[in-house]
Amino acid sequence: MIDEQISPLGLVRGAEAQALIGAGLALALAPGLAFTRHARARRAGGAVHRDILPLDAAPGYTPPADPLAALGLPGERPLVMGIVNVTPDSFSDGGRFQGAAGVQHAERLVAAGADILDIGGESTRPGSAEVSVQEEIDRVCPVIAAAAPFGVPVSVDTRKAAVMQAALAAGATIVNDVSALAFDPAAAPYLATIGCPVILMHTRGTPQTMQQDPRYGDVLFEVVAELASSCALAQAAGIDRGRLIVDPGIGFAKTVAHNLALIDGLHALHALRLPILLGVSRKSFIGRLNGDIPADGRLPGSLAAAMAGLDRGARILRVHDVAETVQAVTIWRALSVL
């Protein structure tokens, strides 16, 4: 059996991208980005073989449907999603933003330029314990209800159908599931009845097991293939493909080398023809590459990794440091029109 993935390659930006598109030498990929050739990855047996195809040697690329347009979010630029952890044990800011403090933090993130708020009540950091459905609802729903009037869409970060239902009733309009709907068998059938965007993140195992010696034969190929399977299962449950967003799951069942390979090869995820969310903010690989600095010292590395993601076509950046990321995105966009 041979599996094949064809994705954009040879990315160009700004005026160069527009000139090449006009000359028929490039195709549009994302706002400000185009590509000039295709990468082909083929799996035969246990090996993955890669080669490069000219622009006209593969089907034309159609930019994905934008599931966020119906929420009033702009399609001409990358989006910044601000993280609000209403948990006692999240890896970066656990315990700081529960209850009223979470509402205040959400308001600050919107004032700093967040396009979306992502509110979660269960830590899924490596080694974290599962939280009961009721406890998770009690944590997230009051904050979602208070934050919903702040003028930006609210995403609920959860793996559980009952929490999704309560959060959407409280005012959330996006579901972000780190298990790609694999944790709760009721999640996909429930979301098939709801018209909201759904973010599917790649991982393996559970938070308790995912960092116990993660192994891949070819991490880039396998992550894309497994996300493709997650998307197919979502569609089989009745979720329209045009509502899906994919996330490579940086730091989830990945080593430092895996994370770097995924960020550098993020363009391969465009084989799925879906918008890409990238969450690199304050992740442990940044600390490990810089002398094990703590989470609150990882802003420069977070920005560097995020900008690399934009260069490879990321649509959404999920971040803790909104004001700093908005400033970096502004400069990236200014450079992309030159």
3-state DSSP call for residue 323? Answer: helix
> Would you call 108 a catalytic residue per the annotation?
no
Residue located via tokens 């992550």:
223
For residue 309, give Cα distances in angstroms to 164, 248, 264, 265, 312.
28, 11, 8, 9, 5
Residue type present at position 14: G
* Annotated catalytic residue, options 43, 125, 283, 298: 283
Tokens at 134, concatenated: 């009721």
Q: Which alpha helices (H) appear in the chain, and where do they start and end? A: 14-22, 100-111, 133-147, 161-170, 187-191, 219-236, 256-264, 284-288, 299-311, 322-336
For residue 194, give Cα distances in angstroms to 177, 200, 235.
15, 16, 13
The CA-to-CA distance between both ends of the chain, in Å, stands at: 45
The whole-angstrom separation of Cα 231 and Cα 240 is 10
> Would you call 283 a catalytic residue per the annotation?
yes
* Annotated catalytic residue, options 77, 139, 204, 318: 318
* 228 C-beta neighbours (distance < 10 Å), count: 17
148 within 8 A of 106, measured Cβ to Cβ? no
120 within 8 A of 156, measured Cβ to Cβ? yes
Active site residues per annotation = 283, 318
